[in-house]
Amino acid sequence: MVLPLLLAACLAVAASAAAPSSSFPNHGKQILRFAEDSFCSTLVLVHGYPCQEFKVTTPDGYILRVHRIPHGVAGVSSPSPKPVFLQHGVLQGGDDWVFYPPRNSLGFVLADEGFDVWIGNLRGTHWSRQHVSYSSGDKAYWDWTWDGHAQYDLPAMLNLVHENTGSELYYVGHSQGTLIALAAFSESKLMNVVRAAVLLSPIAYLKGMTSTLSRLAALLYMDQVRFFFSLLLAFSGIGAYLLRNLCSLDPRCADLLVLVTGRNCCFNASLTSYYRQFEPQGSSTKNLVHLAQMVRTGLFAKFDYGSSLGNMRAYSQVVPPTYEPANIPKSFPVFLVYGGKDTLSTPQGVQELAKRLVCTQQTLFLPNYAHADFVVGTRARQDVFDPVIKFIKAN
């Protein structure tokens, strides 16, 4: 009985996050309780850290917010602090890096270590909902996939950091944050501004993904069933309500996270209140379709429009172009950090990526870690963050 309920709740919430917020007026009040410009005041300043907000507009008109923690709580910055850029994953936002207590949040840990920390927020998330021409209630606003993140969002944000610091930066991404970086780097984007990259739970080749719910949805082509999705969108408030309140009704709700991410060794149950306030964040249905295509085909490729005519219009070829990680320069340092229990970024998928990369690689394999542990795990400070800091200092 519990599995169908969890499946319905999961899919409903995914659709809820992917749809324009005006489709259901209460959506904003139900999931996102803070103003779009309140990142600094809500999440950073309250802990005694400095915080600055920047806006940058992409070539296709999306207005993105980027947040900066220039130094640690002690108020002393290094003479020439290295800028580090943190990029969240799908259905998440930049708040992922600072919502935990400071000693356990990578954004604060890096600032206290003397780094100049910058936090990105992709289009469609709570913190980056503006556009020069559209509102988030317009269908046209949501016409994009992670291709757009790689082609427009990431270059806009990273060039902003480079222009304000005058330095090469260090990139840290999690999940989809690794995917869009790999896509951009493989097309020779940003190689002049990024010094090295840390990829936590990297995803690029998803054929071997073992996540029960995600793989089931992809293989059953649920992303293609428009009528099914329209029903989910219509009742998405119910789905979101179920997900937010299920834990208070049935302790077995923890199985939902397991079915999606794998069994996280170190996930703190006290984070439930956080997810009720911030998660899931926005993405487009088209983006979820693109990710599902990757699961079915196993390819690291651009969005497939499903017909030779559609692909010809978009790419001047019948099939979508693939991204080639082998194009990333040999001298570019990459740190691959992955877990043995992760059902999204599986060891098989990471090994396939590593085999295709010719750049300088360092790896860290944590046998008991699943997808969420790398950012919100109770042991992430010593298991993940400290090795990340060591890698950055060495490069």
Residue 233 and residue 19 in contact, taking contact as beta carbons nearer than 8 Å: yes
Q: Out of 95, 147, 223, 342, pick the active-site residue.
A: 342
Question: How many C-beta atoms lie closer than 10 Å to residue 167's C-beta?
Answer: 15
Residues 6 or more apart whose CB falls under 8 angstroms from that of 58 comprise: 64, 123, 152, 153, 156
Helix (H) or strand (E) holding 318: none
Active site residue 316: no
What's the residue count for the chain?
A: 395
Beta bridge pairs of residue 236: none
Helix (H) or strand (E) holding 333: strand 333-339
Active site residue 162: no
Q: Out of 16, 21, 105, 175, pick the active-site residue.
A: 175
Instruction: Please state the three-class secondary structure of 49-106 as a single string.
Output: CCCEEEEEECCCCEEEEEEEECCCCCCCCCCCCCEEEEECCCCCCHHHHCCCCHHHCH
Residue 64 and residue 128 in contact, taking contact as beta carbons nearer than 8 Å: yes
* Dist. CA 318–CA 298, nearest whole Å: 18
DSSP state of 367: T
**CA-CA distances (angstroms) from residue 178 to 73, 129, 202?**
28, 22, 5
Instruction: For the chain, report the end-to-end CA distance as a whole number of angstroms.
Output: 51
Q: Out of 21, 153, 371, 373, pick the active-site residue.
A: 371
Active site residue 175: yes
Catalytic center residues: 175, 342, 371
